[in-house]
Structure 1
Amino acid sequence: MRKAVINSPTRASTDPLYSSDCRLALEPSIQGLMDLAIKAGWTPNEASYTIMMLGVQQLELCSTDEQHRLDAH
């Protein structure tokens, strides 16, 4: 199996297209994960919901980490 490659950012994080580029970079990997989940027997809705919830958890962790960094200064 070929190892998944995710493109690196090519724009500054302040660029308006930065988020779009990130979405395009992650989309093939997310679609591959969806395909694997569906082949394993999970419904598309359940797999999509779970990926979304895992994303929310990551966002919460990033926000907490950022707040801890700000509080430390």
Structure 2
Amino acid sequence: MERAYVRPISHGGEEFCLLSKQLSRTIDQYIQYKNKKQDKQKRKEYVAKYRILAKGGDFSEGGFHSRFF
């Protein structure tokens, strides 16, 4: 992966960053990668939470006790 440097350009008192197509595509891929990782983590937490409920344990964080299911 090539290194990319984003240089802020002053324009009318505001700063704009010019991104090349390659760099913006790389950033999009990185954001998608991060979102996928977060989704996997959430899925793991969800599965672990309901696995505890299925075993009859108390999962107080959600405010539910297994007896309600």
TM range (shorter): 0.3 to 0.5
The structure with higher relative contact order (CA 8 Å, sep 6+) is 1
Is the radius of gyration larger for structure 1 or structure 2?
2
Question: Normalising by the residue count of structure 2, what TM-score does the alignment of the two structures yield?
Answer: 0.47
Which structure carries more strand by proportion? Answer: 2
